[in-house]
Amino acid sequence: MATVGIGGGVDCCCSTAAFSSSRNLKKSSCLIYQKKSRFASRGRIRVAYRSLNVVAEVNFVNAEEGKELVDQEGYVVIDVRDKLQYERAHIKSSYHIPLFIENQDNDIGTIVKRQLHNNFSGLFYGLPFTKPNPEFVQSVKSQFPTDAKLLLVCQEGLRSAGAAAKLEQAGFKNISCITSGLQSVPPGTFESEGKTELKDAGKAGLVTVQGKISAVLGTVLICAYLFITFFPEQAEKLLALAPS
């Protein structure tokens, strides 16, 4: 407590305080007050003022909690996945603003990396060759104010967390993400559009048929084993007909 005398003995009291409060969902938002003071020349009143800095942190939720945020609190869904995954399945009425976009650069280094990617990750998992979207933050800013309630989603949860960090740095205050992404969302939780379930939108490439191929080969081997076991003479004749 500080007392300053003015003129003929009239006293003015000024108090200064610093405090912080937190809001606990999964992670909290903090209000941090910083005090600044300035002093005028003699005969003038000392002036104290405070500036309020809001530090927002990302709120991580599960699928059911995310559904409640959308239905009850008016959160808008932003899908940050690549174009291919978004087209396979996405939450109805969601906004598609990808964190990564297809890399179509044609410099030598990029061409080599693209070929390596397409022959491995692209072939087996159906993943596109991408690069960071330089317009991501600006695209979000052009469509939403910084106090908008945003629920970011991706397939596994990593891209949405990265996108949330960028938007937080850009001044967005109400950001939530679904932990583990859409792959953890049970069918029917959100109304969706696309040819597959949300949880399966990340599956593509050879891995999608690997299970079927394994099942067919396993069935053939089991049938061959049973045939040899129960019909050994016929099996021996068939083996004799096989070219050596």
Which residue in 12, 14, 30, 154 is the catalytic one? Answer: 154
Amino acid identity, position 55: V
Pairing verdict, β 95-96 and 28-38: unpaired
Residue in this structure with the two tokens 């096989």, named with its chain if needed: 242
Our answer to whether residue 177 is catalytic in this structure is: no
Active site residues: 154
